Structure 1
Amino acid sequence: MTRNLLNRTLRIVAARAAAACLALAVAAPVYAFDLPRHRSVPGGVAIVDLGPAQARPQVALDGEPILVVGNPAGWKAVVGIRLDTDPGTRELVVRRDGDAGQRLPLAVAPVRYAEQSLRVAPGKVDLSPEDLARYERERAHLADVAATRTEAAPASLQLLQPAPGRRSGTFGLRRVFNGQSRNPHSGMDIAAPTGTAVVAAAAGRVIDTGEYFFNGRTVWLDHGSGLLTMYCHLDSVSVRAGDTVEAGERIGAVGATGRVTGPHLHWSVSLNRAMVDPALFLDASGAGAAK
């Protein structure tokens, strides 16, 4: 083989090897864990493909930072959509490597959640002046808790159902008491006896515990990058603010504290300050639920 032919052969081999490496990089997973199910509706989660980039893009919706997962081969934005969002087209602002920003359309489809009309005693609907004052104080504090955002990425975006039991309360359900419409249900209710263990849906840090008028004994966990979970109506709390917990670690027990009619767990998931449907973060079979 002549020197020129040898060099040419080596160049071909090198080019093919480089192409194979590139193909492997492109085929590599763009995230290291399962994503929630895509459902771009009010109260849902939208998964938006951002394409490849050397550094993690920065994404915002209405000025609120959005969780981005992936690697240089491909990034995805995981967008929580508020329940009060009007259907239509919104805009994500995407910045790569410090550029001025690209605007990506985000289509939000309409959705119809269930509605329930109830007739109850007036005292069960309208708050006394004392209860209203307490609620207003607690609302300000809880708004600060819900605004928590740390930069570390969540360890996983597939969550555990935090207690065993029947899902008794539908996300998005709007109740109408004596003709007065109330805010839609912003979480998942899980029916279980008092004392049933409640576990962390994912690894995280305890950012708040307390006993509140509507929510009763409550725990909030921060999982990173705007992903929070809230556990309400607990009979007892096993953790304190500042504690770190692993997925599946006990944080309390099911109870009937707060404004409830019976024992159950109210579980909420907040993503970029939007309460979203927790069912989107559970695998379809319900496997991995707390025992």
Structure 2
Amino acid sequence: MTDHSVDPALLFKAETLAEALPYMQRYAGSTFVVKYGGHAMGDAEAAEDFAEDIVLLKAVGINPIVVHGGGPQIGAALKAQGIESRFVDGLRVTDAATMKVAEMVLSGAINKEIVSWIAAEGGRAVGISGKDGRLVTATKVQGAQDLGFVGEPDDVDTRILDTISKAGMIPVVAPIGVGTDGQTYNINADTMAGALAIATGAERLFLLTDVPGVLDKSKRLLSDLTPADIAGLQTDGTIHGGMIPKLQTCIDAVEGGVDAAVILDGRVPHAMLIEIFTRQGAGTLVRRA
């Protein structure tokens, strides 16, 4: 089990924030990169809880960086415009028309909605994409099939993130990158979050999605895994489908210097706080052996 040091009763039943602060401030000065998934952001109450948690992290001295997805929302927008969605190995094939819609939805509607949620909870957020300040320079994903304008991070320049965080604000990043030639690329949000976590030297990478974490064959939550554990679970078929790339992102992050990466159910109220500040945790934590 994850070794947390805070009794949830002390954290969530504290009469005042001041009573809870001593438990929370042990991460003061750390950077947390939080990927907020497209499926996890579909509920208004859950979105409010998420924004509250992000604002609270900032209030206790942690520097949160939010990276958001938006697959379902992109799919709906494409359907409304009569554009067919096609996927290869979980990645959306992105032609010029699809790229235009994806950027509009990600950098526009979703990004600014999350900024507004954070503002409603008393926080100050700045919405950007990987194109702003050349935060993420991307290269085209190469594979057996041409995915169009799907990219992967090649270089991360954290100066814009540093500037926003030092100004007391919270960066909210859309997973869009730019090539050295100025071409816009759609980037998988998990991959984007992992790259930012490595580049910023983050203490934690959180992948908030719509599953509890990694489950064993009896559907019980596996709370702690190492890269070696993950390899074994993949070999015996316990891990399959969309969980494989998520866990690969976690492995890449911890091998790139991130202390730990966690897969969490973003639909659970205050899942991040439970994972960070309680003994039992809330998801699957991946750490180097």
Shorter-normalised TM range:
under 0.3
Q: Larger C-alpha radius of gyration, 1 or 2?
A: 1
The normalised TM-score by structure 2 is 0.26
Larger % of helix: which? 2
Larger % of strand: which? 1
The normalised TM-score by structure 1 is 0.26
Higher relative contact order (CA 8 A, sep 6+): 2
